[in-house]
Amino acid sequence: MFLIVGLGNPEKKYETTFHNLGFLAVGEAAAKAGAKFKKKECEASVAEANLGGEKVVFARPVTYMNASGRAVKQLLAKYKCDLAHLLVIYDDYDLPKGKIRIRQSGSAGTHNGMRSILAEVGSGEFARIRIGIRDEEVNIPIIHYVLANIRKEDYSLFADACSAAADAALEFVKSGDIVQVMTRFNPVHEGK
């Protein structure tokens, strides 16, 4: 059983903001797996699929970003999923825009949603896919930047990044090996 969580904010006004790239990427992963977000449980919108005999739950917490950990903790308990099969996808200001970076564990960095998850689950020992959002040409405080709408000229760049993140998430489910996924996907995005 795998739990793939994309971080974001539930209101329509946040749909095209940087902070919702996790929602977009997990939505694409679910669509590629043939799953639809039809129900709400554990303070999240969820979609379920079966990939190669493995149950996969795709989730978008509806707690708002800074309380994402509540939903993740509840989902882990409900589905009896261990941290080795949890993958979180989220935007990251510490990476250049459009770049993705996959890690098997780590800290929360500057991301409040990840801080919430680490606090609630009591560990950083789970896989994550970070989608870079930093734009060297923009100089506004991070708190305002993450809630800004993605510029139209950058849509295709972020669409490609979300698609790559979705593919990496599905590869994690198929292989069960995040190191293998890192080896395959990280080098492709090093030069972006």
Report which of 165, 133, 146 is spatially closest to residue 4, judged by C-alpha positions: 165
Residues in the chain: 192
Measured from the Cβ of residue 48, the count of other Cβ atoms closer than 10 Å reads: 17
Contact 11, 60 (CB under 8 A): no
Residue type, 48: E
* H/E element, 165: helix 155-175
Residues 6+ apart with CB under 8 A from 90: 6, 7, 21, 22, 111, 113, 114, 128, 129, 130, 131
Say whether 85 is catalytic.
Answer: no
Please tell me which residue in 19, 85, 111, 189 is annotated as part of the active site.
Answer: 19
How many angstroms separate the CA atoms of 62 and 172, rounded?
A: 24
Contact 90, 75 (CB under 8 A): no
Q: Which residue has the tokens 């405080």?
A: 141
How many angstroms separate the CA atoms of 7 and 64, rounded?
A: 9
154: tokens are: 């950058």
Catalytic residues: 19
